[in-house]
């Protein structure tokens, strides 16, 4: 009956926000009461709006009401708290996940604080006091509550495992010691623990040392990956720039070769046209003379024939003309050779780039990074990519009819250019 009345009173003095007894109770203008911290947190979230509501009745207030402690309610809550503590008796601790439960509790299990090795049970604070009063004359071996109590008891003799058999490498009880292990090398579990602890600490130190080494390798490897990415990005940007320059240079060279070929074509055609015009005039003159001689040869007048013959000149001789077929096969051959060499050189250097850019990791040495993957170094691979195309014109007239093309391999340590 008393517990029911206490429960009813608690419902009247519970905060609607935290659902617990009021702590520093305050009453807002609408008449509802809250913990000062709870209602303050609710209204703090409404500061931007400037309108403050009661969480229960939704009545609004503006400006924000000033909060003051309700002394009457605070005294009533304090009396209620004392009444509840007196009715509840000693404080109890309910078990949570991972806690050891009291073996003597019925109904709701309380959290165990100690385990008794003789009784093979764990006890909460209340039952532990009863246990100590019951066995006051005979002290039992108590230890902090553990959920592995059964592992510390001999399954054969139901006794505590106090000894360690080095022969069989396992824990035993005193009954095992005088029975099947009496001729074995045995020590107390405490002494064996001290002995093993030294090896355990050595092993732990070694593991920590390995962890430090691995962490160092991990950091180095991560930094190497970042460096590799930066280097690769720089190499991509540089290669794009160099290839753009290369394409521009090849386009310029192509244009110059085309202009030279067209220049030679125009020069040769112009010369040929002059010769054709001269030959045409000479042919016309010769045809006229041929017709005159033919007409003279058919005349019957001997006097006219002899007089006319003396006016015809046979001593004049025509200049000889030599027809030469100029070919651009050498130009095509030279350009084809340049293409073949560039293609083969590109294939060979692509393999070298693939080999030099590898990122290697050796498990034996933990970290082995091939550091010669700096693509943007001074001896860039691209400076070895081209042969210089050299176009020259001779100073004599003969150079106007002949286009000389030669390929000059550049110094591999200098930039490749077209001249």
- Write out pLDDT tens, residues 253-310: 889 889 988 998 898 899 989 999 999 998 998 899 888 888 888 888 888 788 777 7
- The domain boundary, picked from 88, 122, 156, lies at 88
More confident residue, 417 or 214: 214
pLDDT at residue 319 greater than cutoff 90? no
Same domain, 348 and 256: yes
DSSP 3-state of 19:
coil
* In a domain? residue 289: yes
* In a domain? residue 324: no
Please tell me the distance from the alpha carbon of residue 56 to that of residue 65, in angstroms, as a whole number.
16
> Which residue segment(s) compose the domain that 18 sits in?
2-88
Token digits of residue 75: 């005294």
Q: Give CA separation, 74 vs 33, 34, 88, 135, 380, in Å.
A: 11, 11, 21, 45, 84
Residue 320, pLDDT score = 58
Same domain, 145 and 251: no
DSSP 3-state of 111:
strand
Read off the CATH number of the domain in which 39 is found.
Answer: 3.30.40.10
Same domain, 121 and 23: no
Please tell me the distance from the alpha carbon of residue 65 to that of residue 48, in angstroms, as a whole number.
15
Same domain, 162 and 280: no
Same domain, 136 and 162: yes
**What percentage of the chain has pLDDT greater than the value 70?**
72
Among 16-20, 66-70, 401-405, the minimum mean pLDDT is found in 401-405
- The domain boundary, picked from 88, 106, 130, lies at 88
Average pLDDT over residues 345-369: 61
Same domain, 167 and 78: no
What is the DSSP code (8-state) at residue 328? Answer: -
User: Whole-model pTM?
Assistant: 0.38
Helices (H), 54-188: 71-88, 125-134, 174-178
Please tell me the distance from the alpha carbon of residue 414 to that of residue 387, in angstroms, as a whole number.
12
pLDDT at residue 208 greater than cutoff 90? yes
Among 194-203, 257-266, 315-324, the minimum mean pLDDT is found in 315-324
Contact by Cβ (8 Å): 361, 367:
yes
Give the neighbor-by-neighbor strand order of the sheet with 163-165: 170-172, 163-165, 186-188
- The domain boundary, picked from 144, 165, 190, lies at 190
More confident residue, 115 or 213: 213
Same domain, 204 and 186: no
214 strand-pairing partners: none
* In a domain? residue 419: no
Same domain, 205 and 180: no
114 C-beta neighbours (distance < 10 Å), count: 21
Average pLDDT over residues 313-331: 64
Residue with tokens 């940007």: 237
Average pLDDT over residues 301-327: 67
Same domain, 84 and 127: no
52 strand-pairing partners: 61
Structural domain count of the chain: 3
What is the DSSP code (8-state) at residue 114? Answer: E
* In a domain? residue 11: yes
């Amino acid at each position: 009956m008393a517990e029911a009345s206490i429960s009813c009173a608690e419902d009247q003095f519970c905060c609607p926000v935290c659902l617990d007894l009021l702590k520093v109770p305050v009453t807002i203008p609408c008449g509802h009461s809250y913990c000062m911290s709870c209602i303050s947190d609710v209204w703090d979230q409404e500061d931007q709006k400037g309108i403050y509501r009661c969480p229960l009745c939704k009545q609004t207030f503006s400006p924000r009401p000033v909060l003051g402690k309700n002394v009457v309610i605070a005294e009533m809550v304090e009396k209620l708290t004392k009444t509840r503590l007196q009715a509840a008796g000693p404080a109890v601790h309910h078990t949570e996940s991972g806690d050891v439960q009291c073996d003597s509790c019925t109904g709701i299990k309380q959290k165990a604080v100690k385990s008794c090795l003789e009784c093979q049970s764990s006890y909460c604070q209340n039952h532990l006091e009863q246990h100590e009063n019951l066995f006051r004359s005979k002290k039992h071996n108590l230890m902090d509550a553990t959920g592995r109590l059964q592992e510390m008891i001999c399954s054969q003799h139901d006794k505590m495992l106090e000894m360690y058999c080095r022969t069989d490498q396992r824990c035993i009880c005193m009954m095992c010691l005088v029975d099947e292990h009496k001729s074995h090398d045995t020590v107390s579990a405490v002494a064996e623990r001290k002995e093993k602890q030294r090896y355990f600490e050595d092993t732990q130190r070694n593991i920590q040392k390995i962890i430090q080494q691995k962490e160092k390798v991990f950091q180095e490897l991560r930094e190497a990956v970042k460096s590799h990415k930066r280097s690769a990005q720089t190499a991509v940007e540089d290669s794009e720039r160099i290839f753009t320059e290369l394409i521009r240079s090849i386009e310029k060279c192509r244009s110059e070769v085309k202009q030279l070929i067209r220049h030679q074509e125009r020069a040769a055609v112009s010369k040929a046209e002059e010769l054709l015009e001269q030959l045409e005039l000479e042919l016309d003159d010769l045809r006229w003379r041929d017709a005159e001689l033919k007409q003279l040869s058919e005349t019957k007048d001997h006097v006219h024939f002899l007089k006319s013959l003396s006016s015809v000149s046979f001593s004049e001789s025509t200049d000889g003309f030599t027809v030469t077929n100029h070919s651009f096969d050498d130009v095509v051959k030279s350009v084809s050779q340049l293409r073949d060499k560039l293609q083969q050189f590109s294939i060979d250097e692509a393999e070298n780039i693939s080999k030099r850019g590898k990122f290697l990791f050796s498990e034996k040495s933990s970290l082995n990074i091939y550091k010669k993957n700096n693509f943007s170094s001074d001896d860039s691979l691209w400076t070895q990519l081209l042969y210089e195309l050299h176009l020259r014109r001779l100073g004599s007239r003969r150079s106007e009819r002949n286009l000389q093309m030669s390929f000059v391999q550049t110094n591999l340590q200098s930039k490749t250019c077209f001249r």
